[in-house]
Amino acid sequence: MNVRIISATNKNLEELIKANRFREDLFYRLNVFPIQVPNLRDRAEDIPLLIEYHLDKIQHRLSHRVAFTDRALQLLSEYEWMGNIRELANFLERMVIMHPNCVLDENDLAPIYKKSSASSALPTVIDSPINIKEYIAKIEQQMIKSALERSNGIIHLAATYLSLGRTTLIEKMKKYNMTAVKG
């Protein structure tokens, strides 16, 4: 019997081996032909093609599709897509279900898909005295809110987006009197 195993992970297996959290012998059995695929956020030029591909698949299954204006497509190409292809495919299916056979513009996109560079919100020159603790707290609240919107209120996904533990995010949400939809 001739068998090929194809596997994928978003974990650094070499680091897991060093931490004794992944078997070294299994790694070398599986690592015959490694293929490194960059994150979707690092290949924005592929996003329009991937959108078209996934819309074709969705149309075949649901008999509906959507189209995007150039501006909406530009915004989607600038979005970071932390969930990579799965996040993009889920977004597209949601758009087809919510807006069957429509052309969507930037106004149809949720605010999280509209690029808002965090660095542009930060002052580069301090013209007047500021309370740095309040300023940092405001930024933290905005980031938590954005992560919760991006994850549709699912706390463990929002925590992943923020590189926080779930309980740490819950404590921060309590501190700022914030709520989420789901655990």
What digits encode the pLDDT tens for the residues 137-160?
Answer: 888 888 888 888 878 788 888 888
What digits encode the pLDDT tens for the residues 54-91?
Answer: 999 999 999 999 999 999 999 999 998 988 899 999 99
Query: Which residue did the predictor score with more confidence, 73 or 36?
Result: 73
Q: What is the mean pLDDT of the chain?
A: 86
Residue 173 — very low, low, confident or very high, per pLDDT cuts 50/70/90? very high
CB-based contacts of 77, cutoff 8 Å, min separation 6: 44, 45, 47, 48
175: which 2 tokens? 């501190």
d(CA 42, CA 77) in angstroms, rounded, equals: 10
Identity of residue 49:
L
Q: Which domains are delineated in the chain? A: 8-37 (no CATH), 38-113 (1.10.8.60), 121-175 (1.10.10)
Query: Which residue did the predictor score with more confidence, 126 or 182?
Result: 126
Least confident of 3-7, 148-152, 167-171, 175-179: 148-152
Q: Are 8 and 39 in contact (CB under 8 A)?
A: no
Degrees, nearest 5: CA angle 143-149-153: 110
| Torsion sign (Cα): 104, 107, 112, 118 | positive
pTM exceeding 0.75: no
